[in-house]
A and B are shown apart, each in its own frame.
Chain A
Amino acid sequence: MNTQIEKPDTRTRLQGGSPDTATEAARDVTDPTPRAQRKESAYGDKKIFSIKDCALVALATGKKARMLQEFRSHMAEIDAASIYHHFWGGLLLPRFEEREYNNDFAAWIRHGIHDAVLAERVAALAPTGFPDLEALRREIIELIDTRMDEMEYLMWARATGQFEFICSQIVVFDTGRRLGKPAELATSMPNLTTSSIFYHFIDARRRTSDYRDDFSDWLTGFGNEFGSLQEQLACIDPYFSSLSELREELALLFTAYFKAPRS
C-alpha cells in the first residue's frame, strides 16, 4: 500500500480548538503558503502535463444549524475544508445537476431560512475572488451580520430544515497519462473522467496562482502563445453545468481552437 501524504493533518488540530486555533489550522487546508508566495506553475516540467484524477468522500462535521444565528456561529469556526466542500467539493458527490444556487449555503438560506435577499447575496460570492478561504469565510459572516441588522427577526427565525456542515477528503492519483503538447488537450479531453475535470478545472483554482485552472496554468509555461485560449478558458463558468457538460464544453473549446488556423 504505497501512498504519499500531500498535506499535514489539520482536522485533528481543529477539534476542540479555539476559534484562533481553528483559523490557524484552517489555512493549512488549502496550502500553508500564502497564495501570493506560491510558485507560478504547478508543473515542474512545463512541457509535460500529468493527467491526474481524484475521488472524494464526505464526512459529517457534527455541526448542524437550525437558526441563522447558529449558522453564523458555526461558520465562524468551522474547518475551512467545510467551506470548500459547500462551494466546490460537493460537485463530486450525489446531487441533482440543475442547481438553483451555486453554493449550499445560499440554497439553505433560501429554502431553510426563507430569506431570498441574503441567499442572493451569498450566491453571488465567487470563491476565486478571495485570496483564501478565510477571507471568503469573513465575507459570508459579514453578509449575515449585515442582513441580521437589516432584518432583526432573522436572529431568532427558525429554519424549516437544518443545515448540516459537511467536509470531505480528497484522494488524488496519477492516471499515468501525459500530454506533451497543448494540441493534445483536444483529443484527450473527451476521455477524461468527470472527476479529472473537477481536479484540473475546479480544484486547481485553490492550488494555482491567480486562481486558474490547471490547463491555463500549464499553458502559461509556453509564454504568450496560447493567451487567447487562456482567455477563453477563463470565460467558462464551472458552477452551473454538470461536470460532464463542462467536459464537453472544454472539449469543444480545445477542438475549435486547435483546428482553426492561428496566426
Chain B
Amino acid sequence: MSMLDDYAQVAGGDVVAQLRQLASPLAGARVVHVNSTRIGGGVAEILTKLVPLMQELGINTSWEVITGESEFFECTKGMHNTLQGNRIPLGERLLRVYEETNARNAEILRPALEDADFVFIHDPQPAALLHHCPERKGKWVWRCHIDASHPYRPVWKYLHEFVAPYDASIFSLAAFAQELPHPQYLIPPSIDPLSDKNVELDSNVIQDTAGKYRIDPQRPVVAQISRFDRFKDPVGVIHAYQLAKQFVPALQLLLAGGGAADDPEGEAVLSEVQASARGDPDIHVLLLPPDAHREINALQRIAEIVLQKSIREGFGLTVTEAMWKGKPVIGGDVGGIRLQVINHHTGFLVNTPEGAALRIRYLLHQPEKIDEMGRKARIFVRDNFLITRHLREYLTLMVALLNGARDRIELT
C-alpha cells in the first residue's frame, strides 16, 4: 500500500485522486526544498512528509538542509524575532556571518539548485542562496512561515534585498504578506494525520504517559505543548492557570515542549518557566527530546483543554494538532491561531492570562461544551488543515507559476 493510499483512508479517496490529477502536468519536474534543520520545528515536520508525498506523485523532489555555526543561528533567530516584531538591530558582524554561511552552502548546493525546475526556500535562514545561483533556470519560491505582519523595518529592509528577486513568495496569512515585487501566495501549513504526533493512540499508551509524568488522570488537566519561546508566553500560561486554580483547586497544568536545533534561546526561556512554576506540584514542566512525537501525542490527549497563548504566532501547528485530537483550544488572538480557533465553536481567542483563565473555568464547568467544541475542531482540521490540502495548494501554485499570473488556467 502506498503512502497516498494511507492518506486516502483519512482524508478521502477523492482528495488523493485529485492530487494525482493535479500532479500529472508536473511529472518529472525537479523540485528542491531547502531549510535549516531536519529535526524540530514545524517546517521540518511538514517537509518530512511533503517531500516523499511529492515523490510518490512522480515529482522528482529532494530536501536539502543548510549548515552553519552557532553565530549563524544566533543571527537567524534574531531575524526570526525581529520579523515577528522585536526591535533589536542585528549587528554587522552577524549579518556578515549570515551572508558567508549562505555563500558557503551555495557552493555545495548550487548544481542541484540551478538545475531544479522549482526551488522552495523556507524562512530567512537560506534566503540568500538565490543570490549565489545566477544560472538558475527554474522558479524560486520563498516560503515565509513566520508572522511577519509587523516586522522590525531595518531587518525586513535587509532581508527584502534577498527575497525580492524570487519568482513568488508564500505566506501563511494575508496579514503576514509584505510589499514584494512578485506574486504572494497564501498557503496555511498543515499537520500530518499519520505521523506519530497525530495518529490515534491506544488508551494504555495515554495512561502510561500520564503515569510516567505523575499526572493524575482523575483531575482536570490543561496543557500547552509548545516550544519554550517567549512568543508562546509560557509564563502567561502559568499565570492563567494560577488564576483558574483559585476556582478549580484540582486543576493541573502541563507545559511541555522540545527545542528546535536552530533555536538558541529555548534554554533561557525554560529557566524562566521553571522559576515561575517552582513550589506548585500540579505544574508539570517537561523538556522533551525532538523525537518524542508519541509522547507529545499522548500529552495532548491527556488534557481536557489545550492552550496556545501565543503573543505572536506564525500559524500554530500545535493548535491544529490539539484540534485534530478533538480538544477545544484557548489560543492567543494572533496570527494563524485566528484562522483555526473560531470563538465559541472550536475554542476561544484570548488576549490576556485573565482571559485564558476565564475560558478555562467556563469550559471546565461545562464538560458538554468541551465535547461539542472538540468535535467541531476535529472536523474543521480534517477539512482544511491536513497535509493533503497543503500539498494540493503547492501543486496548484506550481502549475500556476508555469502559466504566469493568470486567474484561470485550464489543463488539457
Contact = CB atoms under 8 A, between A and B. Distances in A.
Contacts of A193: 14-15, 17-18
Contact of A169 (B29, B171, B383, B409): B409
Interface in B378-407: 380, 383-385, 389, 392-393, 395-397, 399-400, 402-407
Given A96-B342, A164-B174, A164-B175, A55 B392 contact: yes
Contacts of A167: 407
Interface in B19-34: 21-22, 25-27, 29
A5 B174 contact: no
A59 B186 contact: yes
A10 B402 contact: no
Given A1-B25, A96-B345, A164-B175, A57 B400 contact: yes
Among B14, B384, B392, which residue has the most Cβ atoms of chain A within 10 A?
Answer: B14
B205 to A, nearest CB: 30
Among B184, B339, B400, B410, which residue has the most Cβ atoms of chain A within 10 A?
Answer: B410
A11 B411 contact: no
Nearest to B410: A6
B179 interface: yes
Contact of B177 (A6, A53, A60, A96): A60
A68 to B, nearest CB: 19
B185 A58 contact: yes
Interface in B153-200: 171, 174-175, 177, 179, 183-188
B22 A173 contact: yes
Interface in A80-124: 81, 94-98
Interface string A148-182: 00000000000000101011111111110000000
Among B174, B345, B404, B408, which residue has the most Cβ atoms of chain A within 10 A?
Answer: B408
A94 B384 contact: yes
A55 B395 contact: yes
Contacts of A172: 408-411
Among B171, B399, B407, which residue has the most Cβ atoms of chain A within 10 A?
Answer: B407
A59 B168 CA distance: 10
Contact of A4 (B29, B400, B411): B411
A55 B184 contact: no
A57 B25 contact: no
B17 A170 contact: no
A11 B389 CA distance: 25
B9 interface: no
A3 B384 contact: no
A175 B174 contact: no
B25 A3 contact: yes
A45 B303 CA distance: 58
Contacts of B403: 3, 5
B2 interface: no
B405 A9 contact: yes
A12 B405 CA distance: 7
Nearest to A52: B410
B395 A11 contact: no
Given A55-B393, A57-B393, A96-B345, A2 B407 contact: no
Interface string A1-21: 111111111111000000000
B137 to A, nearest CB: 14
Given A173-B21, A174-B411, A9 B183 contact: no
A174 B412 contact: yes
Given A1-B26, A1-B402, A195-B18, A57 B407 contact: no
A62 B177 contact: yes
A170 to B, nearest CB: 5
Contacts of A164: 174-175, 177
Among B185, B339, B385, B409, which residue has the most Cβ atoms of chain A within 10 A?
Answer: B409
A79 B406 CA distance: 12
A174 B408 CA distance: 14
Contact of B407 (A10, A98, A244): A10
A248 B151 CA distance: 45
Contacts of B346: 96
Nearest to B27: A1
Contact of B184 (A62, A81, A95): A62
Interface in A1-59: 1-12, 29, 53, 55-59
B22 A1 contact: no
Nearest to A6: B410
Contacts of B18: 53, 55, 193, 195
Contact of A191 (B14, B29, B175, B411): B14
Among A60, A64, A162, which residue has the most Cβ atoms of chain B within 10 A?
Answer: A60
Contacts of A94: 188, 339, 383-385, 389
28 contacts: A1-B25, A1-B26, A1-B402, A3-B402, A6-B410, A7-B406, A11-B406, A29-B407, A53-B21, A56-B396, A57-B187, A58-B186, A62-B179, A64-B174, A95-B384, A96-B342, A96-B380, A98-B345, A162-B175, A166-B174, A166-B186, A169-B396, A169-B406, A170-B407, A171-B411, A173-B21, A173-B411, A175-B21
**Lowest 4 CB-CB distances: which A-B pairs, in order?**
A164-B174, A60-B177, A94-B384, A6-B410
Interface of B: 14-15, 17-18, 21-22, 25-27, 29, 171, 174-175, 177, 179, 183-188, 339, 342, 345-346, 380, 383-385, 389, 392-393, 395-397, 399-400, 402-412
Given A1-B27, A6-B406, A59-B183, 9 more contacts: A55-B393, A55-B396, A59-B186, A60-B184, A62-B179, A168-B407, A169-B408, A172-B411, A192-B14
